[in-house]
């Protein structure tokens, strides 16, 4: 398949500080690609280089096979939806959307037609004559996207465009953005520090940390099979044990945790008995009072609190060594009898836990 965007060995330094550190990736045409990472990891810097506002220190960026070195932002076939939208307050909605077409010298009648069609696409028909200040947050959002889409860019770049919205609207816009992308078929490159945004919308997600890509994969891969401890900890919630490897066998290892349990789990990377590891386990991987415990890792824990949150309800439990663990509480009424203070048995399958070798101090 053809790639809309191809980034290779991209580096950006500000003085001594390396904001983007040797990043390479390809985005196939028509896909929704997210870059997910904590604040300050270099996401915006990366996007600004693709848009042309920042000159890479080294490395190449190619859009639809064309090298973008020394191409000015106004000559690149990409458009950027800014973090704070940057709509032009001195123009109404229609003039905002027409701005790019006017710069290209598109005939007036054609502009009017395309502006109205784009407004319909983003679900704002007839909004052309409104002033920017009269729009709600979600509507501004859609105008900002329409202003770029009307130019039919090869790639649309979005820099945390939902960041300024309140939670409820964000949930709604997440789904709408995904539907819009599927409808228009433009390649979206979406930046966020919110993992649920990335997981819900994307075909592929890159997890970024300290200027590097830790892993690129589908949302399922990132969640179910994290490649690095950072990804395991950053994407979704995890319970964590520190421990040492006792035995290695195939893709699994037996781990003695620091508090004295012996668990079998999947391992990532080389395995050497005696090496320090960190074990990650999802809250939903733990089964409460399993009927058939054969082949499972089991242990006893005390319920400390019931964290009710509808379908996302959890138990906060502690092991005898005061290690807190989150356990998903299925809302099928089977566990209604559980009360704080009670001791319960928890079990989990060795394939659902994953351990990584611990490097000196960090990770």
Partner 1 sequence: MRRARLGFWLFLAPVLAWLVLLIVLPHLDLLVMSLRSGSGSRASWTLQNYANFFGEPIYWLTFVRTAMYSVITTAITFLLAMPVAFYIAKVARVRLQGFLLTLLLLPFWVSELVRIYGWMILLRESGVVNFALLKLGLADAPVEMLYNDATMIMGLVYTSMLFMVVPLVSAVESLDDSLIEAAHDLGAGRAAIWWRIILPHCKPGITSGAIVVFMLCLGNYLTPNLMGGKNSLWFTEQIYNQFIASFNWNQGAAFGFLLLALSSAIIWIGLKITGQKLGEVAS
Does residue 73 touch partner 1 according to CB under 8 A?
yes
Q: Are 49 and 11 in contact (CB under 8 A)?
A: no
Q: How many CA atoms lie within 13 A of 132 on its CB side?
A: 16
- Measure Cα distances from 268 to 225, 234, 250, 251, 253 in Å: 9, 17, 11, 8, 10
Q: Give the shortest CB-354-to-Mg ion separation in angstroms.
A: 30
Interface residue with partner 1 among 36, 41, 151, 254 (CB under 8 A) is 151
Q: Give the shortest CB-361-to-ligand ATP separation in angstroms.
A: 21
In the complex with partner 1, which residue's Cβ is closer, 68 or 281? 68
Q: Which stretch binds partner 1 (CB under 8 A): 37-45, 87-95, 221-229, 255-263?
A: 87-95
Interface residue with Mg ion among 31, 34, 44, 209 (CB under 5 A) is 44
Torsion sign, CA atoms 20, 25, 26, 27: negative
Can you point out the beta strands (E) in 183-223? 187-192, 204-209, 212-217
Q: Give the shortest CB-35-to-ligand ATP separation in angstroms.
A: 9
Does residue 41 touch ligand ATP according to CB under 6 A?
yes
Interface residue with ligand ATP among 42, 128, 138, 219 (CB under 6 A) is 42
Nearest to 43 by CA among 53, 35, 34, 52: 35
* DSSP H or E segment with residue 174: helix 167-184
Can you point out the beta strands (E) in the chain? 3-14, 17-28, 32-36, 58-63, 66-67, 78-81, 155-159, 187-192, 204-209, 212-217, 239-249, 252-257, 262-267, 276-281, 287-288, 297-307, 314-318, 324-328, 343-348, 353-357
Q: Which stretch binds ligand ATP (CB under 6 A): 33-41, 182-190, 219-227, 304-312?
A: 33-41
Q: Between residue 61 and residue 100, which ones bind ligand ATP under the rule CB under 6 A?
A: none
In the complex with ligand ATP, which residue's Cβ is closer, 36 or 151? 36
Dist. CA 38–CA 43, nearest whole Å: 9
73 binds, among partner 1, ligand ATP, Mg ion, none (CB under 5 to 8 A by kind): partner 1
In the complex with partner 1, which residue's Cβ is closer, 14 or 88? 88
Torsion sign, CA atoms 267, 273, 276, 281: positive
In the complex with partner 1, which residue's Cβ is closer, 38 or 89? 89
Q: Between residue 247 and residue 266, which ones bind partner 1 under the rule CB under 8 A?
A: none
Does residue 192 touch Mg ion according to CB under 5 A?
no
Tokens 């052309």 map to which residue?
128
Q: Are 89 and 132 in contact (CB under 8 A)?
A: yes
Nearest to 27 by CA among 64, 71, 60: 64
Q: Give the shortest CB-140-to-partner 1 separation in angstroms.
A: 13
Torsion sign, CA atoms 134, 47, 41, 236: positive
Q: Give the shortest CB-56-to-partner 1 separation in angstroms.
A: 17
In the complex with Mg ion, which residue's Cβ is closer, 20 or 277? 20
In the complex with ligand ATP, which residue's Cβ is closer, 54 or 264? 54
- Measure Cα distances from 249 to 150, 267, 304, 360 in Å: 57, 10, 35, 24
Interface residue with ligand ATP among 5, 19, 158, 235 (CB under 6 A) is 19
Q: Which residue is nearest to ligand ATP (CB)?
A: 44
Torsion angles phi and psi, residue 176, rounded to 5 = -65, -40
Interface residue with ligand ATP among 6, 45, 209, 238 (CB under 6 A) is 45
65 DSSP assignment: T
Q: Between residue 178 and residue 197, which ones bind ligand ATP under the rule CB under 6 A?
A: 193
Q: Which stretch binds partner 1 (CB under 8 A): 15-23, 100-108, 192-200, 315-323?
A: 100-108
Question: Which positions lie near partner 1, rule CB under 8 A?
Answer: 51-53, 72-75, 79-80, 82-84, 86-90, 99-100, 103-104, 147-148, 151
Question: Which positions lie near ligand ATP, rule CB under 6 A?
Answer: 14, 17, 19, 37, 39-45, 193
């Amino acid at each position: 398949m053809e790639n809309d965007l191809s980034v290779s060995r991209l580096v950006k330094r500000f003085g001594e500080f390396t904001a983007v550190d040797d990043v390479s990736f390809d985005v196939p045409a028509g896909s929704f690609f997210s870059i997910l990472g904590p604040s300050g990891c270099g996401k915006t810097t990366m996007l600004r280089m693709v848009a042309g506002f920042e000159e890479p220190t080294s490395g190449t960026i190619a859009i639809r096979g064309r090298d973008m070195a020394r191409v000015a932002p106004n000559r690149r076939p990409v458009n950027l939806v800014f973090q704070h939208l940057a709509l032009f307050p001195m123009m109404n909605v229609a003039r905002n959307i027409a701005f790019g077409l006017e710069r290209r010298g598109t005939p007036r009648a054609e502009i009017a037609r395309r502006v109205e069609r784009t407004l319909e696409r983003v679900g704002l028909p007839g909004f052309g004559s409104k002033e920017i200040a009269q729009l709600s947050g979600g509507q501004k959002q859609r105008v900002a996207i329409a202003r770029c889409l009307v130019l039919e860019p090869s790639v649309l770049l979005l820099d945390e465009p939902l960041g300024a919205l309140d939670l409820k609207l964000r949930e709604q816009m997440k789904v709408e953005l995904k539907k819009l992308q599927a409808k228009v078929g433009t390649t979206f490159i979406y930046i966020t520090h919110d993992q649920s945004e990335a997981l819900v919308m994307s075909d592929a997600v890159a997890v970024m940390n300290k200027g590097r890509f830790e892993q690129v994969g589908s949302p399922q891969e990132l969640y179910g099979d994290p490649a690095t401890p950072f990804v395991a900890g950053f994407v979704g919630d995890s319970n964590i044990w520190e421990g040492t490897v006792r035995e290695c066998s195939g893709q699994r290892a037996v781990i003695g945790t620091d508090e004295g349990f012996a668990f079998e789990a999947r391992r990532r990377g080389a395995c050497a008995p005696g090496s320090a590891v960190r074990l990650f386990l999802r809250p939903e991987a733990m089964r409460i009072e399993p009927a058939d415990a054969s082949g499972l890792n089991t242990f006893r824990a005390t319920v400390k609190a019931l964290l009710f949150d509808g379908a996302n309800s959890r138990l906060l439990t502690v092991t005898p060594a005061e290690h807190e663990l989150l356990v998903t509480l299925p809302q099928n009424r089977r566990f209604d009898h559980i009360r704080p203070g009670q001791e319960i048995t928890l079990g989990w399958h060795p394939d659902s836990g994953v351990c990584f070798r611990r490097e000196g101090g960090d990770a």
